[in-house]
Structure 1
Amino acid sequence: MSIDPSTRRPPPPRSALTLRLVLATFGLVISCVAVALFVDQDLPPAPIAIAAVLAIIAAVDLVIVIRRKLHGEPG
């Protein structure tokens, strides 16, 4: 990282939105598969609920990242 000599401040940080997009997609797919497998195996509701909550979190993150990318944020 180079420092601008006129202001002596580093450049503004850049967000890794593409990486977040890939990771959120991966998390959503894995969580949905886990929910399907847990339901198929007749497991207690707790692991199913945990996997479902993780899928919801990944889906929300995916929506946020897509909106930020559509608004022109770099990354």
Structure 2
Amino acid sequence: MPIGPQPHGRRGTVEEPYSPLNLRLVLAAFGLVICTVLSIFLFRAGWTVPGWLLVAWAAVALIDIVVIQIRRRARTRADGGRRDHSLFE
């Protein structure tokens, strides 16, 4: 999937959004927080291997957040500064 604005002529509707970037952002942030907190608990409990696995998942969530923000900025530029997107759009 290209990192950029929504392709021309592919306007999403409420029933069928093209890319729910705001929802993806919320879910990625939730995953980042949960993985970070759980990895801290696992490291304190002495379980280093599962702790490192959760650190890796937290890094993936952080990268996903960066990619989503890049796509949201591109969408805002393509829409002429329109910022009234819902959670599912």
Aligned to 1:21: 25
Q: Which has the higher contact order (CA 8 A, sep 6+)?
A: 2
Whose Rg is larger? 1
SS of corresponding position for 2:46: coil
Aligned to 1:51: 54
Aligned to 2:75: 72
TM-score of the superposed pair, with normalisation by structure 1: 0.76
CA distance in 2, matches of 1:46, 1:39: 9
Aligned to 1:8: none
Match of 1:39 among 29, 39, 43: 43
TM-score of the superposed pair, with normalisation by structure 2: 0.65
Amino-acid identity (%): 31
Consecutive unaligned residues in structure 2, runs of 5 or more:
1-8, 13-17, 77-84
Amino acid at match of 1:41: A
CA distance in 1, matches of 2:68, 2:42: 28
- What RMSD in Å do the two structures reach over aligned CA positions? 1.7
SS of corresponding position for 2:50: helix
- TM-aligned CA deviation for residue 25 of structure 1: 0.2
Consecutive unaligned residues in structure 1, runs of 5 or more:
1-10
Q: Which stretches of structure 1, 4 residues or more, deviate above 4 A after TM superposition?
A: none
CA distance in 1, matches of 2:74, 2:20: 15
Amino acid at match of 1:39: F
CA distance in 1, matches of 2:31, 2:57: 8
After superposition, give the CA deviation of every residue in 1:2-23 in whole Å (9 maximum; x if it has no partner): xxxxxxxxx7351010110000
